[in-house]
A and B are shown apart, each in its own frame.
Chain A
C-alpha cells in the first residue's frame, strides 16, 4: 500500500504570508494527487486534483505542483479564511489514502 506523509504537521503563519505544504508518497503516483481543505466540524472541500488542477471556484492563490513522489500545495497570500487543516490524498490505485494533515494556524 502507498503511504502519504505530509510536512509540517502544524504551520503557524500570518495573513499575507506565502506558505507551502509538502506531501510525499512512499512510491511513485505520477500526478494522481488531490488536496483538500477542512475546517472544524465541516466536511473536507476539494481544492486541487491531478496535482495541479484547481477546482472551479477555488481562489487562484492556491496552487499545486509535483509529480512522482513529491508534491506541494502553496497558498500565495494567506487570507483569514485559509486557516484550516489541509490533506493530500493519492488515487493512483486502491487502497487510496490520505496524508495525516497539516494544521495551518494564525501566528
Chain B
C-alpha cells in the first residue's frame, strides 16, 4: 500500500521561505516520477512541479518558476519542495503525488498524500 506523508506546513510570514517534505514508503520510491499539486482553500487543484526518477529533470508551472524548487533524496525516500519569497496567494494545501503513467511528456497522478497546509499571513 503506497504511503505518502507530507510535512513542513504551517503559518509563515510573507517574504519568507519554507521547505515541504513528502516521506514515501511501501513502494520503490526511486522508480517513480513525483509531483507536487496544491489547492488554495475552497478552490481547485493546481499542478506545481514534477521531478524525474533520478532528480535530474524538473518541470514547473509557469507561475512558480524561480520561486519553487522541487528535489528528491532517493536514499531517504523523500520528496521536497522549497518555496521562497512566499506570497499570500501561496496559501494552500500542498499534496505530493506519484505519477501513474504518462504521455511521454507529462503524467497523471495515481497516489496522493493527505496534504500539508501552508498559510502565508503576517
Q: Interface digits, A8-49 against B, CB 8 Å rule (1 contact, 0 not)? A: 000000000000000000000010101010100001111001
Contact A34 B108 (CB under 8 A): yes
Question: Which single member of B60, B61, B109, B115 contacts A46 (CB below 8 Å)?
Answer: B109
A80 in the interface, Cβ–Cβ < 8 Å? no
User: Which residues of the other chain, B, contact A96 by a CB distance below 8 angstroms?
Assistant: 47, 50, 106-107
A interface residues, how many (CB within 8 angstroms): 27
B112 in the interface, Cβ–Cβ < 8 Å? yes
> Is the contact region of chain A dominated by helix, strand, or loop, or is it mixed?
loop
User: Which residues of the other chain, A, contact B108 by a CB distance below 8 angstroms?
Assistant: 34, 46, 49, 89, 91
B interface residues, how many (CB within 8 angstroms): 25
B110 in the interface, Cβ–Cβ < 8 Å? yes
User: Which residues of the other chain, B, contact A100 by a CB distance below 8 angstroms?
Assistant: 44
User: Which residues of the other chain, B, contact A98 by a CB distance below 8 angstroms?
Assistant: 44-47
Chain B's nearest CB lies how many Å from the CB of A66? 15
B89 in the interface, Cβ–Cβ < 8 Å? no
Contact B47 A95 (CB under 8 A): yes
* Interface hits, B64-113 → A, CB 8 Å: 95, 100-103, 105-110, 112-113
Complex CA gap A91/B37 in Å reads 14
A32 and B110 contact, Cβ closer than 8 Å, known pairs A87-B45, A95-B60, A98-B46: no
B114 in the interface, Cβ–Cβ < 8 Å? yes
A101 in the interface, Cβ–Cβ < 8 Å? yes
Complex CA gap A9/B100 in Å reads 27
A91 and B103 contact, Cβ closer than 8 Å, known pairs A1-B62, A100-B44, A101-B44: yes
Name the 8 nearest CB pairs between A and B, nearest first. Answer: A34-B108, A43-B112, A91-B106, A32-B103, A96-B106, A98-B45, A94-B59, A101-B44
By a beta-carbon cutoff of 8 Å, the part of chain A in contact with chain B is 1, 30, 32, 34, 36, 38, 43-46, 49-50, 55, 87, 89-101
